[in-house]
Structure formats: structure tokens, C-alpha cells
């Protein structure tokens, strides 16, 4: 509406200008004798008012006679001469109209890309991304650039403007009750993590109620796409074993190698990304608690995925390094067996992966639980070690799980795998009980995993010391 009003204003200005000579002089609308309706009026200083921001009504103004160029009806000058007089004025009007429209487009663009930026964020300058750059990098967050979506938001691939840098941009809805400043400070803190097997968090951008997290881009997508629902193995055993060791190294760094203890809380194949060399990189590290900032601490639900949740979470509601080790145990088994920890469509005795591996171990045939698509292309000693280590890390008693420093030594064959007692395992399971679940038809260890999902409170993830 504004460009149309401006054009009308320019036409009226032309019509009411002094025509006594060849000069173009604006003397106001007071002497124009315009016909007005609605709320239109001529102000005391000669301006024409057609709208009022205080009310939705509007007005109109009409010229009493048609617009004519100077001497156009006297016949004293030819039509060509009349156009010579009027054309520059018309061109000037069009030029002004183009300028006005350009200004409007610029203002609208600034509104579209407007971000929230507060003084305290100056100290986080290098980690702050411009929303406009991210919008352009992802082509407006188009579906063609969508890499994946989950409970925490959508992830898009992008190419940063004027560079050859590819990034992954995650959109997260966020309302922080604990304060945006603390929230951003925690993101920036995690952005200082440096490890070859962690996906690097490059920075953030916030706009309105939307938070954008920017990661380095991993060209070979997530591990689960290479493991599951594939007719033939896309990863050799050597590649799988190397990925396992890389993720173990990253988790040890989070637990013990950095200035703070970072509990991941969602270790699984879909959160392991593969770089161009097929190295495993642990992603979304430490961000589970960041997402929780928008929730009341008394009502925060368990963060994690069915099949990876330690049984003690149902009782304590507190994530620890030991609950991470439990999830890592599930990760070891899914990599070695080529299937997810929970397979609803599997036969009843095979629904829960840890149950299947446990039964094979008890029967002395643990290698039968391996991914059969590998056929005989694997190292039996390594496969057996990974399967047994997966069971040990998935032990129902948190005190029986090894810390990540010991896991690293076992994988590097610098320490022997601790012996597991079948009696001790069964005692731990039976001691926890399964009241109220007898009719479900699942084993005790299955129920331990399932029951953890009903917990209603979750503690801190990013701890402040060791």
C-alpha cells in the first residue's frame, strides 16, 4: 500500500505545482482545491493526510480537473515539444518511486533477518553467527537441504556465503527459564571442547524464540544409516572396530579429559557421525542438559533413547558418567550385531538385543550374536571382546560397569577384560524385581531397560568438577 500512496502523492504534487513558468515548484496542497472523502484532510502546513495510524480508516483525494502538460491544449506547441517538457518530470517521478520501493525492501529485509543481540554477547562474538548468513547458507532452510530431524529439532546442510565451508545447522526451539545468558554461556563453554572424535560445535545464532546451533559438516552422515536395514554390510569389521575405539576415546575425554565433566546422555549409532575418512565422531555432546533449560527442574523428563537408558535412572533420575557407560554398552552391541538395541518387529526372545547376547554368552556361543551379514569377514578375538565388553558396560549394577579409562585400555589390549559372573548378573537382576510387569512377557533385563523410561526427573548433565 505504501508505494501506491507515494505514487499518488507524487502525481498530486505535480498537479499542484506552480505552472507560471518552466520551474517545478511545490507550494503545498492548500490551493489545489482537491475533493476529499473519508478521513482525508489538508493539514495547516499544506500537507495531505490520507491515513491515520490511530484508526483503521483511510481517505481519498481527487483532482477537480484532468492533469495536462503546460500549453498542451493551446496548439502553440507540437506534441513532441509537450513531451519534452513533461518527460523529465515523469522520469523523475519514476526514479523517486524506485528509490522509495528500494528503501522499503531494505527495511523489510532487515526486519526479516533481525536478531536478538544483547550487550553481554559481545564477549561471545567469535561464536555468534549472523542469521542472514545461515539463512543464505541453507537456501532458506529448504527441505532439499534437510539432513535429519528428531526430538530436539531439524538439521540442515549449508554452505557459508563467500566460503567453501560446509556446516550443519540445527534449529532448536528454546525458552529458557534459567536465563538466556547462562544458556549461551554453556553453549560457548561446550564449544571449547576439542577432540578428533567429537563433532565440533562452531557457534550459535538466536532469533526471536529460535536457537540455531552450527556444527562442522560430516560428509558420510550418521553411523546408523550404514549399519541398519542394509542388505550387505556397508562397513567392514575393521572400520567398525576403529569407530568403536574413536567413540570410546571421545567419551573418555568428556568424562575425564576436559576441565569439566560432561555427561552425554544420548550415546547411540544415530548420534555418531562419520567424516570423509569414515572416522566416528560423537555428536550432540553435552547438549541434552542445554535443551532442558526450558523446563522446570522438578518436571524434567528422562533424556535419552529406549534401549540405552540405565536402570538406575528410574530411581535416581540423575545422569552420570556411569549411565553414559551403560549407553555405550548398548552402542557396542549394536555395532557388533548390526541391529538396534530394541527391535519391536523381532521375535519375542530377540526384541531386546542385550538379552539375546546374554543368552548366547551363557550358552558359550557368544559369537552367534554377531552381525551375520559380515559372514566370516571379522577377527573373532576382537568380536568376542566387543560383545563381552558391551555386556559388561550394560551391567544392571552401575558399580560393576568399567570407567571409560578402563574401556580404552581393554580395547587397546592393554588390560584384560574382567570376568563376568553369571550368578552375580542374575542376582543383580532379580534383586531389582519386576513387580507389575509379569504379564508383559519380557525378560527381567528387558524390563530394566523399559522401566527407566518412566522416570520423571533428571539431574544435571554438565557437572562442575570431577
Q: Quickly count: other Cβ atoms within 10 Å of residue 427's Cβ.
A: 13
User: Is the CB of residue 408 less than 8 Å from the CB of residue 252?
Assistant: yes
- Per-residue pLDDT tens for 360-373? 999 999 999 999 99
User: Is the CB of residue 125 less than 8 Å from the CB of residue 184?
Assistant: no
Going by C-beta distance under 8 Å and a sequence separation of 6 or more, which residues neighbour residue 279?
196, 197, 242, 243, 246
SS3 (DSSP) at 186: helix
Place of cell 523399559: 450
Q: Which helix (H) or strand (E) holds 313?
A: helix 313-316
Q: Which residues contribute to the annotated binding site for ATP?
A: 170
What confidence category does residue 325 fall into, taking pLDDT thresholds of 50, 70 and 90?
Answer: very high
Indicate if the pLDDT at residue 434 is higher than 70. Answer: no
Active-site residue, selected from the candidate residues 133, 266, 284, 324: 266
Domains (range + CATH), the chain: 2-112 (no CATH), 119-216 (3.30.200.20), 224-454 (1.10.510.10)
354-372 burial string, b = 16+ CB within 10 Å, else e?
bbbbbbbbeeeebeebbbe
Query: What are the cell numbers at 438?
Result: 509379569
Q: How many residues does the chain have?
A: 466
Query: What are the cell numbers at 97?
Result: 518511486
Going by C-beta distance under 8 Å and a sequence separation of 6 or more, which residues neighbour residue 80?
none
Helical segments of 40-164, H only = 79-112, 131-137
C-alpha closest to that of 445 among 317, 305, 341 = 341
Which range of 62-71, 80-89, 97-106, 118-127 scores highest in mean pLDDT? It is 97-106
- Per-residue pLDDT tens for 84-110? 556 677 777 777 778 777 776 665 555
In the chain, the largest separation of any two C-alpha atoms, in whole Å, equals: 118
pLDDT of residue 55: 64
What confidence category does residue 112 fall into, taking pLDDT thresholds of 50, 70 and 90?
Answer: low
Beta strand spans in 279-318 (E): 280-282
**CA triple 366-369-370, angle to 5 deg:** 110
SS3 (DSSP) at 440: coil
| Catalytic annotation present for 438 | no
C-alpha closest to that of 201 among 266, 118, 305, 128 = 128
Q: Which residues contribute to the annotated binding site?
A: 170
Place of cell 567429537: 198
Query: How many whole angstroms from its chain centre is CA 141?
Result: 11
Instruction: Give 397's DSSP letter.
Output: S
Q: Quickly count: other Cβ atoms within 10 Å of residue 116's Cβ.
A: 13
Over range 219-241, report the average pLDDT.
89
Over range 402-427, report the average pLDDT.
84
Amino acid at each position: 500500500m505504501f508505494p501506491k500512496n507515494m505514487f499518488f502523492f507524487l502525481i498530486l504534487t505535480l498537479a499542484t505545482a506552480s505552472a507560471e513558468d518552466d520551474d517545478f515548484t511545490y507550494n503545498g496542497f492548500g490551493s489545489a482545491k482537491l475533493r476529499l472523502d473519508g478521513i482525508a484532510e489538508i493539514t495547516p502546513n499544506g500537507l495531505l493526510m490520507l491515513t491515520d495510524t490511530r484508526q483503521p480508516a483511510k481517505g481519498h483525494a481527487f483532482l477537480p480537473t484532468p492533469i495536462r502538460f503546460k500549453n498542451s491544449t493551446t496548439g502553440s506547441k507540437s506534441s513532441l515539444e509537450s513531451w519534452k517538457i513533461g518527460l523529465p518530470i515523469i522520469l523523475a517521478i519514476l526514479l523517486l518511486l524506485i528509490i522509495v520501493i528500494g528503501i522499503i525492501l531494505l527495511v523489510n529485509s532487515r526486519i526479516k533477518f533481525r536478531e536478538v543481540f544483547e550487550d553481554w554477547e559481545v564477549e561471545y562474538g567469535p561464536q555468534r553467527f549472523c542469521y542472514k548468513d545461515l539463512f543464505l547458507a541453507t537456501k532458506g532452510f529448504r527441505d532439499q537441504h534437510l539432513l535429519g530431524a528428531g526430538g530436539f529439532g531439524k538439521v540442515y546442510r549449508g554452505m557459508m556465503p563467500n566460503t567453501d565451508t560446509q556446516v550443519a545447522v540445527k534449529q532448536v526451539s528454546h525458552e529458557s527459564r534459567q536465563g538466556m545468558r547462562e544458556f549461551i554461556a554453556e553453549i560457548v563453554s561446550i564449544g571449547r571442547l576439542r577432540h578428533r572424535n567429537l563433532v565440533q560445535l562452531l557457534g550459535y545464532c538466536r532469533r526471536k524464540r529460535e536457537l540455531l546451533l552450527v556444527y562442522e559438516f560430516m560428509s558420510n552422515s550418521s553411523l546408523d544409516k550404514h549399519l541398519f536395514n542394509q542388505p550387505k554390510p556397508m562397513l567392514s569389521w575393521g572400520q567398525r572396530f576403529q569407530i568403536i575405539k574413536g567413540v570410546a576415546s571421545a567419551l573418555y575425554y568428556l568424562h575425564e579429559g576436559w576441565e569439566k565433566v560432561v555427561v552425554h546422555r544420548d550415546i547411540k549409532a544415530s548420534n555418531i557421525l562419520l567424516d570423509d575418512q569414515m572416522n566416528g565422531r560423537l555428536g550432540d555432546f553435552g547438549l541434552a542438559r542445554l535443551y532442558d533449560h526450558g523446563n522446570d527442574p522438578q518436571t524434567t523428563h528422562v533424556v535419552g533413547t529406549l534401549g540405552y537408558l540405565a536402570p538406575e535412572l528410574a530411581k535416581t533420575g540423575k545422569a552420570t558418567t556411569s549411565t553414559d557407560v551403560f549407553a555405550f554398552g548398548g552402542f557396542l552391541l549394536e555395532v557388533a550385531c548390526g541391529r538396534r538395541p530394541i527391535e519391536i518387529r523381532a521375535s519375542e526372545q530377540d526384541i531386546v538385543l542385550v538379552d539375546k547376547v546374554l543368552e548366547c554368552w551363557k550358552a558359550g556361543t557368544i559369537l552367534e550374536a554377531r552381525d551375520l551379514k559380515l559372514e566370516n569377514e571379522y577377527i573373532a578375538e576382537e568380536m568376542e571382546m566387543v560383545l563381552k565388553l558391551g555386556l559388561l558396560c550394560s551391567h544392571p549394577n552401575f558399580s560393576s560397569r568399567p570407567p571409560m579409562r578402563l574401556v580404552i585400555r581393554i580395547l587397546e589390549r592393554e588390560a584384560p577384560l574382567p570376568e563376568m559372573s553369571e550368578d552375580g548378573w542374575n542376582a543383580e537382576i532379580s534383586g531389582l524385581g519386576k513387580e507389575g510387569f509379569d504379564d508383559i512377557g519380557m525378560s527381567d533385563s528387558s524390563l530394566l531397560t523399559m522401566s527407566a523410561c518412566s522416570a520423571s526427573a533428571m539431574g544435571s548433565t554438565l557437572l562442575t568438577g570431577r
